[in-house]
């Protein structure tokens, strides 16, 4: 039986084992997907081979270590500096980033007419989704609490602001890509700033999944269509699974089984 896993710390909360095992069972693959709590990210490669894994997903805080653990990394994952999917072929590890494309798919399935997007947050996930959104033709602006993490966005030519120098204007979509609201009740930006953004927006998305965050609750008061991070999670999983099974099953088949983990 082929073994797959998700590396993270913490990892107990992860939905990935349930999603992938649903799809493996449904599609008749002789495979098992487990979770691996990894304290030291620099040990990822060693632990991967010790356990004879054939593939893995990687979550917080090991996506950068995962990139270093691979023999080859695809150009998109390299450009955003983070790997969330590893596939083994022989003695080599190949790294990919499916988070960003997962977000793009979720946005496309939202079915709204969106041209301009403001992303709140400048962490690893913001980095990945901002690049893919710009490549897909959206106009992307980044706003972050502090200046430090904005530097790499600025260097890539994005419009970047801290809360202090941001003049909230009109954007079609507001995305919360911070971890505000994940384990507390905080908003990702000052309430007055959010009020200005949400009152002019067509929709909002929070990439946090499994709960209605304060950001989504506030968005609802402006009667906006909202979406949490569940679809992004689903689609990054489907895209990773496609790589695990080397094209033996279609995107739609995988999606149909994986979706059952969300019922
Ligand atoms: P990082 O730790 O790399 O970045 C966190 C960002 O959040 C930083 O920009 C930080 O700002 C900002 N931030 C944190 N707390 C606050 C706050 N109270 N107010 C304002 N800004 C805040 O995180 P990631 O990018 O890896 O992950 C972000 C979120 O995305 C997490 O909640 C994670 O669960 C979720 N996620 C969801 C996925 C899905 O499939 N749905 C996939 C991947 C991630 P500063 O620079 O000022 O510290």
What tens digit of pLDDT does each residue of 33-83 get?
A: 999 999 999 999 999 999 999 999 999 999 999 999 999 999 999 999 999
Q: What is the CATH number of the domain that holds 73?
A: 3.40.50.10860
Q: Is 144 in the same domain as 92?
A: no
pTM for the model:
0.95
Instruction: Please check whether residue 124 lies inside any domain of the structure.
Output: yes
Q: Is 142 in the same domain as 41?
A: no
Ligand 1 contacts CB of residue 15 (under 6 A): no
* 63 catalytic residue (yes or no): yes
Instruction: Single out the catalytic residue among 15, 63, 105, 211.
Output: 63
Q: Which residue ranges of the chain lie beneath pLDDT 50? A: none
Ligand 1 contacts CB of residue 149 (under 6 A): yes
Q: Is 236 in the same domain as 219?
A: no
For residues 84 and 240, the answer to whether their CB atoms sit within 8 Å is yes
Instruction: Please check whether residue 103 lies inside any domain of the structure.
Output: no
Which ligand 1 atom lies nearest to the CA of residue 233?
40
207: containing domain: 111-224
Q: Is 78 in the same domain as 119?
A: no
The pLDDT value given to residue 183: 86
Nearest CA to ligand 1 atom 29: 179
């Amino acid at each position: 039986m082929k073994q797959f896993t998700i590396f993270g710390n913490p990892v107990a909360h992860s939905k990935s084992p349930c999603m992938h095992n649903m799809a493996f069972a449904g599609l008749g693959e002789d495979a098992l997907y487990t979770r691996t709590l990894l304290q030291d990210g620099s040990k990822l490669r060693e632990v991967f081979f010790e356990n004879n894994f054939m593939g893995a997903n990687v979550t917080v805080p090991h996506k950068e270590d995962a990139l270093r653990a691979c023999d080859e990394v695809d150009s998109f994952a390299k450009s955003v500096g983070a790997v969330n999917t590893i596939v083994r072929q022989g003695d080599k590890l190949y790294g990919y980033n499916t988070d960003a494309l997962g977000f793009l798919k979720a946005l496309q399935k939202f079915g709204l007419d969106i041209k301009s997007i403001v992303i709140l947050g400048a962490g690893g996930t913001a980095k990945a989704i901002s690049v893919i959104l710009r490549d897909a033709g959206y106009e992307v602006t980044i706003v972050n609490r502090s200046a430090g993490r904005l530097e790499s966005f600025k260097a890539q030519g994005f419009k970047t602001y801290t809360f202090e120098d941001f003049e909230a204007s009109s954007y079609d979509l507001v995305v919360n890509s911070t971890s505000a609201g994940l384990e507390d009740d905080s908003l990702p930006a000052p309430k007055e700033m959010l009020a200005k953004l949400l009152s002019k927006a067509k929709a909002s998305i929070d990439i946090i999944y499994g709960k209605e965050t304060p950001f989504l609750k506030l968005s609802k008061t402006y009667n906006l269509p909202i979406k949490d991070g569940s679809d992004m999670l689903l689609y990054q999983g489907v895209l990773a699974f496609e790589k695990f099974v080397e094209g033996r099953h279609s995107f739609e088949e995988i999606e149909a089984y994986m979706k059952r983990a969300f019922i």
